[in-house]
Structure formats: structure tokens, C-alpha cells
Copies of this chain bind each other. A is one copy, B any other.
Amino acid sequence: LREIDHTPQRIQIRDVAKRAGVSAATVSRVLNGRAEVRSAARERVLSAVVDLGYRPNRLARSLRRKASETVAMVVSDIENPHFAEAVRAAEDAVYQRGYRLLLCNSDESASKQQTYLETLAAECVSGVIVAPSDPADSAIKRLLDQSIHVVAFDRTVADPRADAVIGNNLDATRVATTHLIDGGHSAIGLVSGPLETTTGRDRLAGYEDVMRRAGLEPRVEFGGFRMDEGEQAALRLVDSSPRLSALVVANNLMAAGALKALRARGLEIPGDVALVTVDEPFWAEFVDPPLTTIAQPIRLMATSAVDLLFERIEGRRSESRRLTFDFELHIRASSQHG
């Protein structure tokens, strides 16, 4: 009776219970893999589930359990291939554990980040991986107060209870700058990221460190890790320093912008201005000329973040951890003479 359900009414646990001739409690036990259910009852429940096409309402389950089998990742710019790659790798790792990954794009905006983090807290996700636009966000504290695990990714956060997976950003621009100095350059500019982020600050510090030690004068312009901002910063740099012979760029999107800027000014790469960028987007080897990059093991970093998160979710660790990964220099035509 009422086998074929044309109403928008969803099948509920009590419908399954009725059909299987058991109570809702028993259906719940079977579905949650609790041990002690007689196998005859178990069979009947399982086939009733299939017959009716029952899917538990996750809202109700999560509300009752105060936890959901969902983790979230909040990135500052999903259009940045660097984060897109991280998201892909994280999603795979999360999915393999039977969890779902929800993704939020904070758009380099502190208020958007806060809104999303509070929404996630209010939805009782089991954990969140966040590449923070605002490292001191009060919503991060709120998550941790609520025992929702937090892993800072790519950039650290202020709260020491959070785990972190980051690259060795200081070293990244040290290597880049040293590579250019070794190539004979001395008038080297930096297209820097924003000082609000640890990646921005550390990459600036690494560059300044090497420049100072070499007795060279730093020349820095800032952008917000976006393409057009990188273009503007590069234009300011070449326009104000006609002798500039090399550029370090703090991330891949701003490198694309710098490429645009140099072309607009008719400057040859690497003849007039050599270029090294942090990040290793897949198009680095296809552009003209192929770009020298400072690559980080982004997929490994993403799966490591997921590992850290699940160590916490599964209660295998309680003290916080920080993992740091080294960058690797990939030399291509954009930084080589001739």
C-alpha cells in the first residue's frame, strides 16, 4: 500500500521500522552498525531500507549527535590554482574516510571568512581546514571552544590550539632571491603579498633578509595575491626603478599579472627583466617564457592537513602540531640569461 510514493514526503525511519516490523530504535542501530541486533531483524531492516529507498535525514542525526560526518575547507580564493589543487587533494582524502568535504570561498575577505566559519560552527561540522584571510578571526576561537578541530593551511592562525600545515615561506623567497643574485642580478624587486597574511609577511622577510645580507636595497610593492594587483604592483616597480633587472613575485596569480605588466612596457623576459615566482601552477611551463618557480608539495600538504584533522577527530592526539614543508626551486627560462 502506497508503494509508489509520488508525494514530496520523504521516507522516514518510522516507515522503515513499520515495514520491517521493528522499532525505530532497532532500525537506527542497524544503520549505525551497532553490534547487538539479531540477524533476522537486521536482514528485514536492510531490505526495507532498500525497498523504500530510505536515506536518514542528516540534519536530525547531526542535531542529535552534535556532530556530522562532514569537514569543511575554507580557502581565500578558489580561482587560485594553488588552492584549487589543495582542495582537490583534500577532497579525495576526506572522501576516502567516508566523510564529505564542504568548500567555502572567503574571497580574501575577513567578514566573509567569519560568516562562513560561524555557519560551519552552527552546523556542527567535525573539523575545518582554513587558509585564513584573517588569522585572528574570533570565529576560529569559537570553533575551538566548541571542540571543532581546526587546521590552519598555507597560512597560520593566531589561536595556538589549532594545528597548522605551512610551507617554509621565509626560505622560499630566500632561495628565489639568492638564485637571482647568483645569476648576477642586483636590482631585484619584490611583488609582495599582503602583510595581513603570514605568507605575505614571511615571503617579504625572506627576500629582505637576503637582499640586506648582500648589501642590496630592497624594492617592494604590494598586492593582494590577485592577478590585477600583481600587474599594478609590477608596473609601479618597473616604472619607478628603470634599472630593475629582476623580479621576485610572491604567488602565481600575481606572476601572471607581472607577465602582463612587463609585456605592456615592452620589456623582454629574461633579457630586460628576469622573473621568479612562488607557486608552481600547471601553466608555468607553457607560458612564454617558461617560468622559474619555487614549488611547494601542495597535494602532500593538503593530505597532511586532512591527516592531522582526523587524528584529532578520532581522538588520537590532543596537543597541537605544526607541519612545515620545504619549497623546491624549478629553474626555467624566465630567470636565465641568453
| Interface residue ranges, A against B (CB under 8 Å) | 8, 10, 53, 55-60, 62-63, 68, 70, 77-79, 81, 84-85, 87-88, 91-92, 95, 100-105, 107, 112, 115-116, 118-119, 121-124, 142, 145-147, 227, 256, 259-260, 281-283, 286-289
Chain B residues lying within 8 Å of A145, measured Cβ to Cβ, are 8
Chain B residues lying within 8 Å of A289, measured Cβ to Cβ, are 288
Chain B residues lying within 8 Å of A91, measured Cβ to Cβ, are 78, 105, 107
Chain B residues lying within 8 Å of A286, measured Cβ to Cβ, are 256, 259-260, 283, 286-288
Contact in complex: A122, B57 (CB < 8 Å):
yes
Chain B residues lying within 8 Å of A59, measured Cβ to Cβ, are 59, 62-63, 68, 122-124
Partner of A105, one of B55, B87, B105, B119: B87
Contact in complex: B288, A8 (CB < 8 Å):
no
State the CA gap A78–B79 with chains docked (Å). 9
Chain B residues lying within 8 Å of A78, measured Cβ to Cβ, are 78, 84, 87-88, 91, 103
Closest 10 CB pairs of A and B: A288-B288, A103-B103, A283-B283, A58-B122, A59-B63, A286-B287, A8-B147, A79-B84, A91-B105, A102-B102
Given contacts A63-B63, A88-B107, 6 further A-B contacts (CB under 8 A): A81-B81, A84-B84, A92-B107, A256-B282, A286-B286, A287-B287
State the CA gap A119–B260 with chains docked (Å). 43
10 A-B pairs in the complex with CB atoms less than 8 angstroms apart:
A8-B146, A63-B63, A79-B85, A79-B87, A100-B115, A259-B286, A283-B287, A286-B286, A287-B288, A288-B289
Instruction: Indicate the member of A85, A88, A289 with the most B CB atoms within 10 Å.
Output: A88
State the CA gap A107–B101 with chains docked (Å). 12
A27 to chain B, nearest CB (A): 16
A140 to chain B, nearest CB (A): 14
Chain B residues lying within 8 Å of A122, measured Cβ to Cβ, are 55-59
Partner of A55, one of B84, B85, B100, B121: B121
Q: Which chain B residue has the least Cβ–Cβ distance from A102?
A: B102
A120 to chain B, nearest CB (A): 9
Taking A57-B122, A283-B283, A286-B283 as contacts, is the C-beta distance between A101 and B100 under 8 angstroms?
Answer: no
Taking A100-B104, A123-B58, A123-B59 as contacts, is the C-beta distance between A112 and B95 under 8 angstroms?
Answer: yes
State the CA gap A303–B258 with chains docked (Å). 29
Contact in complex: B119, A100 (CB < 8 Å):
yes
A202 to chain B, nearest CB (A): 26
A32 to chain B, nearest CB (A): 15
State the CA gap A58–B288 with chains docked (Å). 50
Chain B residues lying within 8 Å of A124, measured Cβ to Cβ, are 57, 59
Contact in complex: A105, B81 (CB < 8 Å):
no
Chain B residues lying within 8 Å of A87, measured Cβ to Cβ, are 78-79, 105
Q: Which chain B residue has the least Cβ–Cβ distance from A147?
A: B8
Chain B residues lying within 8 Å of A259, measured Cβ to Cβ, are 286
Contact in complex: B101, A104 (CB < 8 Å):
yes
Taking A118-B55, A121-B55, A256-B283 as contacts, is the C-beta distance between A10 and B105 under 8 angstroms?
Answer: no
Instruction: Indicate the member of A60, A95, A286 with the most B CB atoms within 10 Å.
Output: A286
A256 to chain B, nearest CB (A): 6
Chain B residues lying within 8 Å of A100, measured Cβ to Cβ, are 104, 115-116, 119
